[in-house]
Amino acid sequence: MCAVTDASRRHPWADVPATAGDRLRPVVLGTGDEIIATVRAEIAEYALSMDGEFGRRIRLGVSVALDQFLDLLGTDDALPDTTVYFELGRVEHRHGRTMDALQSAYRIGSRVLWRRIAAASEGSDGSDGSDGSGRNGTGGAHAPDDLGLGADDIFRLAEALFAYIEQLAAASVSGYAYEQSLAAGSRQARQHALVERLCRTPAPEPSELESLAREAGWTPPKTLGALVLAEESLAVACRRLPAEIAASAVDGVGVVFVPDPDGPGRVDALADALRGTPAVLGPTVTPDQVPRTVTRARAAWALQQDGSLPGEGLVRSEDHLLVLLLHADVTLTADLVAQRLEPLRRMTSAARDRAVTTLTAWLDAHGDVGEAATRLHVHPQTVRYRLARLKEAFAGVLDDPVGRLEVALALRAGGPGLAEG
């Protein structure tokens, strides 16, 4: 039977004479034990594992590889089954190893096998059978080699062998990647369970938190803060953030638990990682208080989205407590605005604008008329005149410390727009 040599052939073993398979069989099948022994001796990671289940899989892989290689010679068939090698890749990942050791095993196998084939092609003793004078021991010309293969066939055989081993190795890489994706998906699911639980009230008991964290591969920190950002920004942000975070999407937003956010340089590092990405960091709490940081961060996130807080980069909720306070109960805030700014509603639009500007400057200056006048770019006497009219309109409220605070808060919450309502 002739080898497949047309230009349309897809595999290099198609160019090897089909008769080579039968001639090579004793040589090839006899290398299995040597391959196993060499792998055990040269790969430290496998030295202690070759006697167990892993060793059984390796031996099966070697046996199947040798048989399949022989059967493919002289055909243009694809590898009939790479399941064994796909599974070897999965096993490597489950054992916590990289692909380096298994790739080395493939290289060792091809080296040992080729060395035996090369030796057989020159004679069973590794020589060409000559006596050194260019003649064989019987006085004739060179004896044909044991395999009956010419030099071109030997080269084609080498090409076929290394292409074959490369495909086996590729199957193992695919298996490794598949197992890696399963592990990543499982790890992501466990981390989601952790983050989702941390977002619920009440906070998990220490034993529950420890169990969830262990399954998610996360070490519960002594203190942490909740970082909230858009769900679509979560993946990119996580690649930039420290590795010790726990993150997932919960209720339509991305939630990231950041360990020790108050540590030296931590906030600056977070800000750099989130540059250009809107995000809100809640207060730093201990794990038993985690609902507080989540609630605060989510509230601040809503305000950032509606424009009440800065809309780009990292915002710390603790830097905007007054805004959060005024938006915590919108009906209560609306009542405060309506009650304390009622005198402004009775004014004309121009008078109201002037009153709001004057009141704001005076309150911001802590009652210092001179400072208020500087801010307003008017004479102090003008401020005194306006204040006298305002105190009259507010019926003594501005002379009371609590009243002044309420007016200041109402102005902060409602300003002239709500004052008109």
Predicted confidence at residue 417, as pLDDT, reads 45
pLDDT digits (tens, 9 = 90+) for 36-70: 999 999 999 888 777 777 888 899 999 999 999 99
Q: Bridge partners of 228?
A: 255, 280
Residue 243: which CATH number?
A: 3.30.70
291 & 364 share domain: no
Q: Is residue 174 part of a domain?
A: yes
Taking the CB of residue 372, how many other CB atoms lie within 10 A of it? 26
Q: What are the DSSP E strand ranges found in 190-328?
A: 224-230, 246-250, 253-259, 279-281, 314-316
Output the pLDDT for position 166. Answer: 94
Q: Could you read off the pLDDT of 326-370 as tens digits, one per residue?
A: 998 888 888 899 999 999 998 999 999 999 999 999 999 999 999
* Residue 189 within any structural domain of the chain: no
pLDDT band of residue 149 (cuts 50, 70, 90) is: confident
* Entry pTM: 0.56
Q: CA-CA distance, 180 to 174, in Å (whole number)? A: 10
In sequence order, the β-bridge partners of residue 225 are 258
pLDDT at 62: 94
Number of folded domains in the chain? 3
* 309 shares a domain with 341: no
Picking from 328, 347, 378, the residue at the C-terminal end of a domain is 328
Provide the pLDDT for residue 123.
54
Single out the residue in 328, 359, 394 at which a domain terminates. Answer: 328
Identify the domain containing residue 253 by its residue range. Answer: 206-328
Pick the range with the lowest mean pLDDT from 128-142, 147-161, 172-186, 220-234. 128-142
CATH of residue 107: 1.10.490
Query: How confident is the model at residue 140, as a pLDDT?
Result: 34
Give residue 9's pLDDT: 64
- 63 within some domain: yes
Residue from 319, 324, 268 nearest 295 by CA: 324
pLDDT at 120 exceeding the cut of 90:
no
- Give alpha helix (H) positions in 30-99: 32-42, 53-72, 83-94
Res 240: pLDDT: 92
Q: pLDDT exceeding 90 applies to what percent of the chain?
A: 67
What is the per-residue pLDDT for 418?
41
Q: Which of 277, 315, 285 is nearest to 298 (CA)?
A: 315
Residue 195: inside a domain: no
Q: Which residues have C-beta within 8 Å of that of residue 195, sequence separation ≥ 6?
A: 246, 247, 248, 250, 255, 257
The more confident residue out of 313 and 134 is 313
Residues 166 and 243 both lie in one domain: no
Q: What is the pLDDT of residue 343?
A: 94
Using CA atoms, how far apart are residues 67 and 49, in angstroms rounded to an integer? 24
Residues 176, 241, single domain; the answer is no
